[in-house]
Amino acid sequence: MMHQIPTIKLEMLSAALQFRLRNGGSQSRAAMITCPICSAPAFIRRSERLSETTKLLGAHCTNTGCGATAEWVISLKWMVNPGLIDRSDLDLPRCPPERITQVFPPDPEEDTNQLSMFPEE
C-alpha cells in the first residue's frame, strides 16, 4: 500500500541579501569588480599576470539570482606618475598632459581671505 505525501503550497519568500563591502584595509576580504549582467559586485577568485601591463581576472557575481562567472583582461592605459624606478625597457605610455588635473593657488587679488605677510604701510 502506497502512502501519498501531502503537498503543501508555500509562498516564495523574498529576502534581499545584504553584502557589506569595503575597499581596502584589513576588513576587505576580497577584491570586487562590477558584474556586467546585473551590476552587482563580483568577487575576484583568481588572477594571472599575463605581462607587465596586463592581468587576467576571474570573478563570480555575488547576486545569487544572477550567478554569472566571467573573466576580465585588465591592461594599463597610461602612466600618470611613472615612479622613481627606471624601466625604460617597458616603454610605458604617458598620460596626456591635458588629462592631468592641475591645481594652482588663486591669485592674491582674487583671494580676499588671504592675509598678506607684508602689510602695506
pLDDT of the chain, 121 residues: tens digit per residue? 566 666 666 565 555 555 555 554 444 556 889 999 999 999 999 999 999 999 999 999 999 999 999 999 999 999 988 889 988 888 899 989 888 887 777 776 777 777 777 777 6
Quote the CA–CA distance of 79 and 47 in Å, as a whole number. Answer: 22
What are the chain's domains?
29-77 (2.20.25)
pTM of the model: 0.55
Quote the CA–CA distance of 31 and 43 in Å, as a whole number. Answer: 6
The dihedral sign for the CA sequence 66, 71, 74, 75: negative
Quote the CA–CA distance of 42 and 21 in Å, as a whole number. Answer: 11
